[in-house]
Structure 1
Amino acid sequence: MCGICCSVNFSEEHFSKDLKEDLLYNLKQRGPSSSKQLLKSGVNYQCLFSGHVLHLRGILTPQPVEDERGNVFLWNGEVFNGIKVETKENDTQIMFDYLSSCKNESDILSVFSEVQGPWSFIYYQASTHYLWFGRDFFGRRSLLWHFNNLGKSFCLSSVGNQTSGVANQWQEVPASGIFRIDLKSSTAVSKCVVLKLYPWKYISRENVTKECVNSLTKISADLPKIVSVEANEAKLYLEEPIVPLNMKLPPASFEAHYTDISRVPATKETLQVCLTDSHMKEVVQQFIDVLSTAVKTRVLYLPRDESLTPNDALKTCDKRANVAILFSGGIDSMVIATLADRHIPVGEPIDLLNVAFMSKEKTVPTSFNQNKSKQKNHCEIPSEESSKNPAATVVDNPNKEFNVPDRITGRAGLKELQAINPSRIWNFVEINVSVEELQKLRRTRICQLIQPLDTVLDDSIGCAVWFASRGIGCVATQDEVKSYQSNAKVVLTGIGADEQLAGYSRHRARFQTHGLEGLNKEIEMELGRISSRNLGRDDRVIGDHGKEGRFPFLDENVVSFLNSLPIWEKVNLTLPRGIGDKLLLRLAAVELGLTCSALLPKRAMQFGSRIAKMEKNNEKASDKCGRLQVIS
């Protein structure tokens, strides 16, 4: 994780050797290990590069990096696959070496087509005076742009800044491909900045030209008139890193079988019945294997004290966790935690970050799914009052106003993980946020990170993820409750599971009105918009703590595997909530030895943590949120 920035000026009167103080502060928050700036000048322009590094792998490599020919590179990413990076090598240097050896545009595109993993970058090519920049296919790393209306300057940055009373002018760089600017031809005289786009393309796809035109039109609509976006003259493309979604529909004879299964009760036995089918069981195992590999690559690329033997490590009670998980006890975070346990050294703790916002009513919530009590052989997560399960009690927590749904399921999930691996130290970090603390830190810090997104939903999720990833709370042991701060640099999240496996209620609504064909289109749309809807915001919010968010469900191989499956092997929305949605993931959970959590229905973070409607009850998720405006 890094904070990267390039400020470009075409007018001498605007030339500067420093970034604005607040922008520099925001960037430094993301990269606490190293900070460095570099100035490059041409005949008509000046570029100020600013790099701030969070060191995670290989030798610490300060950024920006420059070679003997004057090329400059800023990299905020992780190479997990595609291009070989040895354990002790730094991927920034590897990527720069590849780019420096490129002879033409096609070579540069080949490099970025190969890389698997999250990234955003800025690359100055001295010989051509080109500035290249962009984000990965899913937009897992933030990159913003800001253009001066007079065409005299523009800025690219991982995170923006705001001026009181001025409308936010930063926008997210679309994850539509890689952009190129010819700095030599963009001058203060012409007052025009021309962006050349090299879009993503799946090799066998038809109507690529039409898609590119649509993309250009959409990007241009949000930019000042002095900025134009054009297709590159050579009509070159980046190769998409995933296979297209399988839109195949089942034969009519299968529809009857699909409906018959719905008569089976919504219990764990239902899932076990599905696993008696040999083909389905094989698909589930393939899914576990590909997801496990994705988790493995995201928990092992970290500096660890290799001098400790497993026995020594077990004796080190105060050993710090290197990996944390945004943890609600729901199916997504439980599967991620279970797979992380396979690959993280046994003597190393894992931090489970569980956030709760003070409930207005200050009462203990009842079970989130009362209907389950009517089912036989159900596996209910009970309320605090009715529970005989210590995982769902708050004996160790006198602050009952924080006993929100995600806290209850989180404690139950902790018990499941402890049963799977009692040797592991699982730090269940209870992060409690009062209204006063939420309002203060949103105003002074979080609103700048969520921007340029601005809806009530962005506010709720952005604030919840910021407090959760900060990791300041308390941990209950058998003897005491003690204050705790997670220092793990890597934070795993389950984002991407709902989008691909029909986890949202809107998926069920679409299925009920338009069948499997409509459901396929909804899933395709969800994945297509995830860069602008979620990932840039989450990257800015998590990165503000000098930590890196990693998303196993959005690993290129995981997405390609899920995209290759027909819809009926992933979900069955004729089954009730908690079974048919994310069916494939639930079957994987059962195979991994999980119990109650395999049946938990989807509960959005803003509701599970109780941040939604905490301050206003009459808001809609899509409304613009006034609380995100900077006051001072």
Structure 2
Amino acid sequence: MCGIFCLLSLSPARRVRDEALHEHLRRRGPDSSGDLTFGGTNPYYQCLFSTHVLHMRGLLTPQPVQDNAGNVLVWNGEIFGGLTVRPEENDTAVVSQRLSSCDSPSQILSVLSAARGPWGFAYYQKAGDYLWFGRDFFGRRSLLWNFDAEVGALTLTSVASRGSGPAPCAWQEVPASGVYRIDLKAAADAGSLTFEVYPWARGGSDLASSFGPATSEPVPGGCSAVMNRSGLVLAAPVCPLNTSVPESLSAGEVPPDSRRCAEDLQQLLSSKEKDDEASRLVAVLSEAVRRRVQSLPCAFRPSGELASVAVLFSGGIDSMVLAALADRHIPARQPIDLLNVAFRLQAPKKQKESAKKHGKDKNKATDSTTEGADPRTFSPFDVPDRITGRAGLKELRELNPERRWNFVEINVAKEELQKIRQERICHLVHPLDTVLDDSIGCAVWFAARGRGFVVEDGERRPFTSSAKVVLTGIGADEQLAGYSRHRVRFTKSGHEGLIQELKMELDRIPSRNLGRDDRVIGDHGKEARFPYLDEDVVSHLNALPVWEKADLSLPRGVGEKLLLRLAAKRMGFGQSAVLPKRAMQFGSRIAKMEDHYEKASDKCTRLLTD
């Protein structure tokens, strides 16, 4: 994982380097930094590439990478399949080598289409003076852009600083709808930028016809985008979504056994068909996790005392499954960190009065991390995710008592939240700006930092996670109908409506979640990895009819994400397999710290800087 930066200037006027932006990039990649500048004189253009590398696999490869032909690559990504990367190799070097052998746009698209995993990149192709850039199919790595029309400068960067750039709100996320190419000589002659778009073929269809000569791409002001003249597209890395509906049920019809309850998961597994479906999901998810937790440069520490992998952990089914699958592929002597975040609750009024009445010690049990505390005493960090997290920890210990599970209790007070939000998080969340982005961005930032406490043998001690890989469960709800809006859509429009909703979820996940989460987690010099969005996992789930993935005629805690619940039950889980979905902002209780009357989609004034 890296912080990448590219500044393309079409005039000799120089933009002053933004030191705050540079610092954000440096935190993403603490292991190596480098700059490279080149350009043309007639016509004039100049490119500055700057990269900060987080070393994750193979030999440390400093960036920018310049090959013998003069091509330059900055790469923020991981290759988990499609292109061969041997354990001792670094994927940046492999991608650079493969791109350097390309003589045509179709060959470059072939390399990018084959790469399985998250990536964002910028690539100078000397032959022809072209600048390529873009993000992977799902947009799992952040890439932002803006254009300063006064000096004719385009900036591409993994992360920005709020208020930097030609205008306070000029930054936009590069759409994950394809990759882009700039003809540098043509741009320098014209003094303006036109992006040639090479779109992803989504849903198994060729998108070239839908773009036409001009596109509706949300490009920076002062720029334009056109479909490439050859009509070339990137091959989709996943199969199309199965849109079939059950013949026996009309839209909205409820089957007679809709009163089933959670205990029936085990009964469903008694069906060979259901058991086989659950087994296949476990297998494909297990392989996705394996690819993300092995071959790490720090994975085999002699002492075995420090973890290489952490899980954003609420005790819910998504994170429980990831933790259990990671346990299968990480050496037995190595710990796994479970990162559980809680935001301080206010003591209920009655309890405050009771405490005063009985003259209780103010310092007694205000910390929920102390096991064995009096249950009648208010614990301000006993939020729902802390309670389910502890229950999940117990189940994991029962599954593998030999593993050292570091349950990291990360407690956040309002004062620290407000301070860090203004210093760091508001810049990382930007250009997103809603109440929901604030809540999720803050919760993920503190969780990924991994600074809290663990309780061992009844004693509480400070603890900071050493893990550089952070597994997150994003993508499970979007594919398996885990949100309440999916149940509403099913009730109104049946399976057809639910299918449309699920398709929309995957289409918009780059702009709603993934860029933001990558920026927030990367700020700690750690890498977010998304097993539920592995291309093989998505293809597996896309191929299934919707009623095998979810049955929203069943109660909450059973029907949504039904297939994943069956898989969890098959893996040996108990109560965690039937926990209803609870959004992170409510489970961690960060939403309770702020204005209760806000809507998730409202603009968040707390993200504004002075």
TM-score between both structures, scaled by the size of structure 1 = 0.90
- Of 231, 234, 253, the residue aligned with 2:230 is 234
- CA deviations 1:317-344 (Å, max 9, x no partner) are xx10000000000000000001000110
Query: How far 1:126 moved relative to its partner?
Result: 1.3
Distance 2:203 2:519 in 1: 32
- CA deviations 1:149-198 (Å, max 9, x no partner) are 336111000001133895221110000000001111112x6332000000
2:179 is matched by which residue type in structure 1?
A: I
Corresponding residue SS for 1:238: coil
Q: Does 1:285 align with 2:279?
A: yes
Corresponding residue SS for 2:3: strand
1:332 matched to which residue of 2?
Answer: 318
Corresponding residue SS for 1:145: strand
Distance 2:215 2:517 in 1: 26
- Of 377, 381, 386, the residue aligned with 1:402 is 381
- Of 554, 569, 584, the residue aligned with 2:563 is 584
1:377 matched to which residue of 2?
Answer: none
Asked whether the equivalents of residues 320 and 392 of structure 2 are also in contact (C-alpha less than 8 Å), the reply is: yes
- CA deviations 1:1-53 (Å, max 9, x no partner) are 10000011111122x6x732111111000000001111112121111100100
Question: How many residues in Structure 1 have an aligned counterpart in Structure 2?
Answer: 591
Structure 1 pair 215–571 and aligned structure 2 pair: CA distance change class (3 A): farther
Q: Does 1:511 align with 2:497?
A: no
Query: How far 1:214 moved relative to its partner?
Result: 11
1:212 is matched by which residue type in structure 2?
A: F
Query: How far 1:479 moved relative to its partner?
Result: 4.2
1:22 matched to which residue of 2?
Answer: 20
Q: Does 1:12 align with 2:12?
A: yes
Asked whether the equivalents of residues 204 and 240 of structure 2 are also in contact (C-alpha less than 8 Å), the reply is: no
Distance 2:3 2:164 in 1: 23
Query: How far 1:530 moved relative to its partner?
Result: 0.1
Distance 1:629 1:256 in 2: 44
Asked whether the equivalents of residues 364 and 404 of structure 1 are also in contact (C-alpha less than 8 Å), the reply is: no
Asked whether the equivalents of residues 144 and 159 of structure 1 are also in contact (C-alpha less than 8 Å), the reply is: yes
Q: Does 1:469 align with 2:448?
A: yes
Query: How far 1:262 moved relative to its partner?
Result: 1.4
Structure 1 pair 168–397 and aligned structure 2 pair: CA distance change class (3 A): farther
1:482 is matched by which residue type in structure 2?
A: R
Corresponding residue SS for 2:401: coil
Distance 2:488 2:250 in 1: 21
Structure 1 pair 364–420 and aligned structure 2 pair: CA distance change class (3 A): farther
1:156 matched to which residue of 2?
Answer: 156
1:267 matched to which residue of 2?
Answer: 262
Q: Does 1:455 align with 2:441?
A: no
Distance 1:416 1:91 in 2: 37
Asked whether the equivalents of residues 159 and 449 of structure 1 are also in contact (C-alpha less than 8 Å), the reply is: yes
Moved more, 45-54 or 150-159: 150-159
Distance 1:52 1:364 in 2: 52
Q: Aligned runs of 1:385-400 on 2, under 5 Å?
A: 400=379
1:379 matched to which residue of 2?
Answer: none
1:201 matched to which residue of 2?
Answer: 201
- CA deviations 1:218-260 (Å, max 9, x no partner) are 424xx31x20000001111100000111000111269999713
Distance 1:455 1:448 in 2: 13
Indicate the RMSD between aligned Cα atoms, in angstroms. 2.4
Q: Does 1:244 align with 2:240?
A: yes
Query: How far 1:572 moved relative to its partner?
Result: 0.5
Corresponding residue SS for 1:60: coil
Distance 2:451 2:347 in 1: 24
Distance 2:582 2:576 in 1: 12
- CA deviations 1:285-337 (Å, max 9, x no partner) are 111100000000000031246484xxxx6xx5xx1000000000000000000
Residue identity over aligned pairs, in percent, reads 55
Structure 1 pair 345–24 and aligned structure 2 pair: CA distance change class (3 A): same
Structure 1 pair 363–47 and aligned structure 2 pair: CA distance change class (3 A): farther
Distance 1:532 1:178 in 2: 15
Query: How far 1:283 moved relative to its partner?
Result: 1.1
- Of 539, 551, 564, the residue aligned with 1:560 is 539
- CA deviations 1:343-390 (Å, max 9, x no partner) are 10010000000000011346899xxxxxxxxxxxxxxxxxxx9xxxx9
2:361 matched to which residue of 1?
Answer: none
1:41 matched to which residue of 2?
Answer: 39
- CA deviations 1:124-156 (Å, max 9, x no partner) are 011211000000000000000011133611100
Moved more, 110-119 or 355-364: 355-364
Q: Aligned runs of 1:72-471 on 2, under 5 Å?
A: 72-150=72-150, 152-163=152-163, 167-187=168-188, 190-202=190-202, 204-205=204-205, 208-213=207-212, 216-220=215-219, 223-224=220-221, 226-252=222-248, 259-264=255-260, 266-268=261-263, 270-304=264-298, 306=300, 308=302, 319-361=305-347, 400-471=379-450
Query: How far 1:443 moved relative to its partner?
Result: 0.4
Distance 1:78 1:280 in 2: 34
- CA deviations 1:566-614 (Å, max 9, x no partner) are 0110101011100000000000000000101001000000000000141
Structure 1 pair 93–294 and aligned structure 2 pair: CA distance change class (3 A): same
Asked whether the equivalents of residues 40 and 48 of structure 1 are also in contact (C-alpha less than 8 Å), the reply is: yes
Corresponding residue SS for 1:236: coil
Q: Aligned runs of 1:482-501 on 2, under 5 Å?
A: 482-501=461-480
Moved more, 208-217 or 239-248: 208-217
1:283 is matched by which residue type in structure 2?
A: E
1:435 is matched by which residue type in structure 2?
A: K
1:343 is matched by which residue type in structure 2?
A: H
1:55 is matched by which residue type in structure 2?
A: H
Asked whether the equivalents of residues 203 and 240 of structure 2 are also in contact (C-alpha less than 8 Å), the reply is: no
Structure 1 pair 69–209 and aligned structure 2 pair: CA distance change class (3 A): closer
Corresponding residue SS for 2:48: strand
Structure 1 pair 421–217 and aligned structure 2 pair: CA distance change class (3 A): same
Distance 1:453 1:141 in 2: 15
2:568 is matched by which residue type in structure 1?
A: A
